Amino acid sequence: MSHSINLAPVNSLDHAGFVGAFASVFEHFPQAAEGAWSVRPFASATALHDAMMDVIRNLDDQSQRAFLNLHPLLSGANIHSGTMTADSDAEQKSAGLDAMSNEQEASLDRLNAAYLERHGFPFIICVRHYTREGIFSALERRIGRSTQQELDEALAQIAAITRARLNARLHALN
């Protein structure tokens, strides 16, 4: 994240303003912003992101899995249905998931189902860091990993996703 971001406006936000500005950074989980607000002021954008991630990392196992299950499946059908958040929609489109062939869509659906059945939560990846082919490859590879490895990987991917989302919001405030 850029260190040139002026955090004075962020640190001066009241509770409602802070939560309003950052509630959507984490997919359907405004509690990350709620928890981070209580540890202000932030010396850097990284410190703010770390505070938000700490809320996720400190959830008990059941709550952490529930949080992971708030994330949408990677799917062209989800994009076309208009049911995803604006961030998820833009991110999935950036990887070309809105322009798959019927065969690719069916393959992705099968892989998603296998992953979900094995691990109990959706496959999560920072799609902006991958090509469509890279996403398919990672999904195929990660199905066979242990669920603990995938829990750790999902949190690492969420950190990458939310770092970019937070950075965009911080730039919008400056």
Is 171 assigned a catalytic role? no
Q: Could you tell me which of 56, 67, 65 has the C-alpha nearest to residue 28?
A: 67
Backbone angles phi, psi at 101, to 5 degrees: -70, 165
Q: What is the pTM of this model?
A: 0.93
133 and 169 in one domain?
A: no
Q: Which residues contact 70 (CB under 8 A, 6 or more apart)?
A: 27, 28, 29
Range of the domain at 19: 8-65+164-173
CATH number reported for the structural domain that contains residue 123 in this entry: 1.10.3330.10
> How high does pLDDT run on average in the chain?
94
93 and 45 in one domain?
A: no
Number of domains observed in the structure of the chain: 2
- The catalytically annotated residue of 3, 49, 71, 171 is 71
- Chain segment 129-171, per-residue pLDDT in tens: 999 999 999 999 999 999 999 999 999 999 999 999 999 999 9
102 and 57 in one domain?
A: no
